[in-house]
Amino acid sequence: MPQRIGTLERLRRYPVKSMAGEDLQEARVTFAGLSGDRVYAFLDPRAPADFPWMTARQAHEMILFRPRFLDAPPAGQEVPETERFATEVTTPQGAKFRMGDPQFTEFLEKRFARPLRLRFSERCMTDARPVSILGFSTLRALSGESNLALDPRRFRANFYADWDRGEPYFEDTLVGRELQVGETVAVQVVKKDQRCVIITLDPETAVSAPQVLATLARGHESCVGVYAAVLREGIVRAGDPIFLI
């Protein structure tokens, strides 16, 4: 029998790669990840071929841009029409642009002083695996280790878990194991999430706190949270139980 190990306390997706995310009450999870997660991204032609993305690594304020789907596809829709991914982005100064509008790309090119290309894909453009998981007990521990009250949004996870054991870094012990989230979704935890400078950025101000990454480098091999592959598709909801299969 599956063993209950926690609760899906918070569920998030990020319509545009490296821009602000949004909390969800429910989401469809596909083999490619959460429906609507990182379906837009900007490419930097001057970036290395193995990481061609324009992200907050290059321009910290990118995390302050706030995208929203104008008519988001419902979780119950297995194959959304492309039109359901139409997205508006609000800049840190309050201006609004539509994704796909050449004026928005030009605006960002001027702001970030580099050429950019917009890419859209219904398959999530994640860095490593379709779903990322982080425990709130880990966040509390890392806050103490770094002497900084850490906003969970820094870590840009999809599933934020409240583990029944309350053990910091408990998700690290799940690498190689299979989990069921809610009634149908199953994932396999495949590896720890090695972090970059983005987690040092305050999600409200983009001000950097280098001690966050330095703390992980000293004690945790620069990793926090885990990546998972999706084994069975379905719908998850905030508050769903998490089981160890």
Average pLDDT score over the chain: 96
Cα atoms in the Cβ-side hemisphere of radius 13 Å centred on 243: 12
pLDDT digits (tens, 9 = 90+) for 135-181: 999 999 999 999 999 999 999 999 999 999 999 999 999 999 999 99
Taking only the tens place, the pLDDT of each residue in 91-120 is 999 999 999 999 999 999 999 999 999 999
141 φ, ψ (degrees, to nearest 5): -65, -45
What value, to the nearest 5°, has the Cα angle with vertex 203 and ends 188 and 165? 40
pTM tops 0.85, yes or no: yes
Does residue 67 sit in helix, strand or coil?
strand
Asked if 67 and 85 touch (Cβ cutoff 8 Å), the reply is: no
pLDDT of residue 42: 97
Any idea which fold 3-244 has?
A: M1 Pyruvate Kinase; Domain 3 (2.40.33)
Summarised one tens digit per residue, pLDDT across range 82-99 is 999 999 999 999 999 999
Read off the pLDDT of residues 121-145 as tens digits, 9 standing for 90 and up. Answer: 999 999 989 999 999 999 999 999 9
Task: Look at residue 239 in the predicted model and tell me its pLDDT.
Answer: 98
What's the pLDDT at 196?
94
Q: In what order do the strands lie in the sheet with 87-90?
A: 66-69, 87-90, 96-98
Domain ranges of the chain: 3-244
Give the pLDDT score at 104.
98
pLDDT score of 1 more than 80? no
What is the structure's pLDDT at 223?
Answer: 97
